[in-house]
Each structure stands twice: as C-alpha cells, then as structure tokens.
Amino acid sequence: MLSAWLATGLARDPHCVLVFVGENTAGEYGAAMLAAIAASPAPERIRITGWADAGLYRQYLAAADVGVQLRTDSRGETSGTVLDCMNYGLATIVNAHGSLTDLPDDAVVKLADRFQDEELAEALQSLRDDPTQRRHLGERSREIIRTMHAPRRCADRYAHAIEQTYHDYHHSPAIVIPAVAQLDPGPEHDADLVGFSQALTQCLPPRLRLPQRLVEIDPGSDARSAAVAGLAQRLREPVEAYRVEPVYLDKEGRYRYARQYALQLLGCPAKALTDEVAEIHHGDTFVALPHDGDAARVARLQDLQRRGVLVLSGEA
C-alpha cells in the first residue's frame, strides 16, 4: 500500500493523506515501514494511528474518501472492515481473495488476488482523478449493505434457512423410516439396524416435545425407600415445564423407560405399557444413580453430556 501510494500523484498532492488505522507491527517489518515513511517525499502526510478504539475508528471511516482493504492467507473469515468501509459510503479497493470475491463488481474496485503494486497504484490514481466514480461506488456500497447485509435481513435469512431445513419433508422420519424398512440386510446385521435407529433418534428429534427429567432407578431397589416415594410423588403431580420419566440400564447397556415400574408405583396395570428404549435429547436432564467409578457407566454419562444432556447425581 505504501509503495503504491508513493508511486502515484497522491504522494505529491498536499491535499492527500495516507492513514494506516491501527497499530504498527513490532520487529523488522514495522521498523522497515517507519524507515520507508521517513525516507519518502511526504512523511508528514503518511500516518500510523496506533491502536484505535471504536470511536477513533469510526471517525476515520467518516473522514476518508477511499478505503483500501487487502487480504491474504484467508482461513474462510469475512472481513468486517470491508463492510464497514462500504457502510460509510467509501469507494473501497479490495483484492479478490476469499470471501471478498463475492462482493459485487459494481460496488468495489476489485483487484486480482495476487495483484502488482502498479495495479493498486492505478486504482488509487483513478479514484483520485474521478470523483464521480468515487461517489457512484460509495452510493452503491451503502445500498449493498442496506439491502444485503443489514442485521435484520441477515437474521431473517438465517431463520428462514433453518426453518426450511427443519421442515423439509425429505428430512422427515416419515420418509427415512419407511425407506430403511425396505432394506433387507439379513439377521446378521440386526445390531447395525439397532445402532442406526438410535443414531436416527438423535439426528431427527421430535418436533414437539417437552424436555425430559430422566430419573435412573434400580428396579430391584426397596419400593419403600424415600427415593422411590419421591419419584412416585413426582409422577402423580407432573409439572408443565418437563416430563418425569424413570429409566434403567438394560443388559445390552441401553437406557430404557421404566414404564412398567412407574405403572406399579401408581397402582396401575403394569402391562399397559412397554419399556421402550429411551430417546434422550439435547435439553433433557438425567439424574444418575451413584456409579462408584464404573468406567462403562462413566463413559455413558459423558456421552449424554456431549449430546447436550444435563447430568446430575442424586435423587429425583
């Protein structure tokens, strides 16, 4: 940037000032930068502001006629500073690197990704000599920000994309489950189907559901214990915020709803419901029994935590 500016008539124009807004880098590069400025024909019109807070940054955006935003070695990020320049109506020079390639060609001066200093100098001189072009670019930039990058519009588009994906019929269990049912993998792959079905419940959670408070029980525990009495009380007096479900660990290492156990606590026919595999999702709470350092049980609880389940130890 310094080299290009010094190669133009701007360096000889007493009305033109080059400002680097921000902190100079330490080390050899920063020292070479200062030396080049001092040796230039216009050192008094080349400034490095040092660290600039938000207020000073906005003052320079408001005062400038041209913004220059160059990037290299992008990791996929979007430059907020480029959008700031456009929002302030600056004629802005960028290079076609990373996300900057997506900017409309009629809203910025877009150089090649790996441009030559001469190309940048030519762009600077062109904007200096043509105030109409500067004004057109500034007006078009502000229009782009207002119509395409306004926070409210961006939020609405995110919301629309999320809802559209969520409600897309092709991602519905009503499509996936019948398609899987048509497969004939053979009995040797039953375990794979079980694993797939469990993964499917995590990928396609029910759309309308109350959070669950899953209380781990030992089906062989004393039915007269205080913990069992507390669980029975919660089942008899449900709350609107969540659904209480007792669960237990079966012989295959899967958590199941202890619904027959719950029916017995409530004095209902135990065979009215079956103990289905528990569907545990993000936002649920799991109240675990003491595990005494059992590595397998610790791993299961950690897996629940990774899936966004709040794991607690204690009574219901």
The CATH code of the domain that includes 212 is: 3.40.50
The count of structural domains within the chain is: 2
Give domain status of residue 168, yes or no. Answer: no
Q: Are 258 and 284 in contact (CB under 8 A)?
A: no
Regarding whether 100 and 18 lie in a shared domain, the answer is yes
Output the pLDDT for position 87.
93
Output the pLDDT for position 172.
63
Output the pLDDT for position 77.
79
Q: Is 68 helix (H, G, I), strand (E, B) or coil?
A: strand
Q: What is the number of residues in the chain?
A: 316
Whole-angstrom Cα Rg for the chain: 32
Q: Are 97 and 71 in contact (CB under 8 A)?
A: yes
Give domain status of residue 49, yes or no. Answer: yes
Regarding whether 218 and 152 lie in a shared domain, the answer is no
Regarding whether 140 and 37 lie in a shared domain, the answer is yes
Whole-number Å distance between alpha carbons of 220 and 144: 67
Output the pLDDT for position 225.
62
pTM above 0.85, yes or no: no
Q: Is 67 helix (H, G, I), strand (E, B) or coil?
A: strand
Give domain status of residue 194, yes or no. Answer: no
Domain that holds residue 139: 2-156
**Considering 122, 156, 190, which residue would you say is the last residue of a domain?**
156
- Per the rule left: phi > 0, alpha: psi between -120 and 50, beta: everything else, 312 is beta
Cβ neighbors of 313 (< 8 A, separation 6 or more) are 287, 288, 290
The CATH code of the domain that includes 104 is: 3.40.50.2000
Give domain status of residue 180, yes or no. Answer: no
Regarding whether 148 and 22 lie in a shared domain, the answer is yes
What are φ and ψ of residue 279, in 5° steps?
Answer: -100, 110
pLDDT in tens, the chain (316 residues): 999 999 999 999 999 999 999 999 989 999 999 999 999 999 999 999 999 999 999 999 999 999 999 999 888 778 889 999 999 999 999 999 988 988 999 999 999 999 999 999 999 999 999 999 999 999 999 999 998 888 898 999 999 988 887 676 555 666 677 777 777 777 677 778 777 777 777 777 666 678 999 999 887 765 556 667 788 888 888 888 888 999 999 988 889 999 998 898 888 988 888 999 898 988 899 999 887 777 888 898 999 999 899 999 865 4
Which tokens in the block code for residue 42? 């216009």
Output the pLDDT for position 253.
86
